[in-house]
Amino acid sequence: MDFKELRQKIEYARNTSEQLPPLPVNDIPELLQQRSDNKGNYLTYIDENENRTEVSYTVFYQHVINCARLMQNHGLSHGDRIATISYNHWHTVVQYFAAWLLGLVVVPINLGEDDERIAYILENGEVELAFVRTEYRERFRGILESHKYLKNVEWIVCEGEIENFTHEKGDLELPDDVLDDSEALIVFTSGTTGAPKGVALSQRNLLEDARSIADWHNIDNQTRMMCVLPIHHVNGTVVTLMTPFFAGGSTVLNQKFRTSRFFPIIKEEGVHIVSVVPTLLQYLNNYYSEKETSDTSTLKHIICGAGPLTVKVATTFEERFDIPIIHGYGLSETTCYSCFLPVDLDEEEHKKWIADYGYPSIGVPIPANEMAIHDEDGNELEEEERGEIVIRGVNVMLKYYNNREANEKTFKHGWFRSGDEGFYVNDEEGRPYFFITGRLKELIIRGGVNLAPLEIDEVINKAPGVQAGIAVGFENDWYGEEVGAYVQLKEGAEEDEEAILEYCREYLPFSKSPKVVVFGDQIPVTSTGKYQRRKVTHHFEQWKDVQFRDE
């Protein structure tokens, strides 16, 4: 079986009793056409200076047409690639949809990456034209000048009015073919080591995941969402740009997340649903520990995923703000979300799945995909057995772009292998509630025994004086790896290593307990809120030759 056949098997292999009905549109151009005469609001953009711009569906559609006309005038056609060098801005959303109208592929650039990685992404993604916000023009110029193999990348500086990158006159020739299987997005993963991998997503991937998210969260043409996450990542793009567009709703796009303005904007704009990562919940918990919040009566719930959520952070937020967290899980490789906690659980049942198993459940598979737990040989494991989370369905990516080795490894055994360790527990109705215990590559292997860092994180975060903390596996001559704790203290708390270690040993066996504590000002995370444990391992080098004993 060649790779294309294998991917089709992964995409379409679904339980016959749960076959999805056809999408209401064939592709994104057809969806754009359907929304073109909608006079309602699609985007409200709020920049960091509180400037507010409203864009209706009708006006947005015209901007998309004009931007597509400019791209076509620059010689771009179906299959060509553009890059966006931008922060969150509504102009960038226009560029996304204009590219998809023509069957182009968007390669969003995470500006948190270093110049070498950005150069790699531009080359590996075969980018031909880049839209560059004014603030980044000098940096981008420097990247091109330092890497001569990028000399053919054309770029347009996006400053001032939208007319800077649109053409109002001239013919526009659209592809004759349906673009459902056309590549739409190549998102490069942001690992801490090695070259990033380009996740190639189709227009159908985006539409199918948007449909499942909309159905799960009851998002319709009356729903107002808010985006505070970076739109260079699938969470910001799929959950809060594509999903409301698919449903005919609206979204409030923030240039960036601001803790002090989070709840006030929700109140002012009448927001119903927001998508966040756990790091942002922690910021809000901390900021409002001694402050009163604004009225959030319009807010139905918070969507949270894309990083490790602890029971402490989740329960603190829900108790403090009386807002339910609909925890979920997914990857760029599965377009975005693959599972969520149900939104219709009663309070007792919801709290059970958030707090009673040591980890907050990531929920039940959405209609777009199936999930299972496999061992390393591809055998399906039983309830509560730990193994690798695997996924197959219509939201699974087309492939890793230009990376045959990664494709062969990742799609082995007929499922997409996530690289995450987890397990599931069935409820009384037989629905599997999944849990994630950590990245398989992040597992701490102490004396040949695998330890899940998220389990240890839970305890560290409840220790006295701890604002936030993570378990870190560091090299050790005696056990191969040992367990350390990297801790950010609460304001005013003293560095009491022994109190933290004693607390952890009270709730964890000695093998899992941290042996040393390193204090830091901030825990490093990716732009999407995932812990970067490997970035702090060097702080533990002095304990490499120490044998820690249970006394």
Q: Give the tens place of pLDDT for each residue, 504-543.
A: 999 998 989 999 999 999 898 876 677 888 889 899 999 9
Q: How many CA atoms lie within 13 A of 524 on its CB side?
A: 11
- Whether the per-residue pLDDT at 196 is higher than 60: the answer is yes
- Whether the per-residue pLDDT at 487 is higher than 60: the answer is yes
Percent of the chain having pLDDT more than 90? Answer: 73
Of 263-272, 292-301, 509-518, the least confident: 292-301
pLDDT score at 6? 58
Report, as an integer, the average pLDDT of 185-205: 83
C-alpha pair distances (Å), 378 with each of 6, 115, 161, 291, 449: 15, 38, 53, 50, 21
pLDDT score at 534? 82
pLDDT score at 497? 95
> What single letter denotes the amino acid at residue 530?
K
- Whether the per-residue pLDDT at 472 is higher than 80: the answer is yes
Indicate the pLDDT class of residue 438, thresholds 50, 70 and 90: confident
Percent of the chain having pLDDT more than 70? Answer: 95
- Residue-by-residue DSSP string for 3-37: HHHHHHHHHH---GGGPPPPPSSSSHHHHHHHHTT
pLDDT score at 509? 87
- φ/ψ of 221, rounded to 5, equals -75, -5
d(CA 504, CA 325): 27
d(CA 443, CA 480): 12
Q: Give the tens place of pLDDT for each residue, 374-415.
A: 998 999 999 999 999 999 999 999 999 988 888 888 898 889
End-to-end CA distance of the chain: 56
Helix axes 137-146, 115-124, angle to 10 degrees: 70
534 by Cβ neighbours in 10 Å (0-12 / 13-18 / 19+) ranks as middle
pLDDT score at 17? 42
Report, as an integer, the average pLDDT of 78-104: 98
Handedness of CA 170, 203, 156, 163 (dihedral sign): positive
pLDDT score at 170? 86
Indicate the pLDDT class of residue 193, thresholds 50, 70 and 90: very low
Tokens at residue 254, please?
A: 């923030």
d(CA 459, CA 545): 26
Between 442 and 120, name the one with better pLDDT. Answer: 120
Look up tokens 């215990």; give the residue: 437
Handedness of CA 316, 319, 320, 325 (dihedral sign): positive
pLDDT score at 312? 85
Report, as an integer, the average pLDDT of 166-180: 92
Contacts of 501 (CB under 8 A, 6+ apart): 485, 513, 514, 515, 516, 517
pLDDT score at 295? 80
Mean pLDDT over all residues of the chain?
Answer: 91
Domains of the chain: 1-23+180-441 (3.40.50.12780), 27-36+57-176 (3.40.50.980), 443-543 (3.30.300.30)
pLDDT score at 481? 83
Label residue 59 left, alpha or beta by phi (over 0 means left) and psi (-120 to 50 means alpha). Answer: alpha
- Whether the per-residue pLDDT at 113 is higher than 90: the answer is no
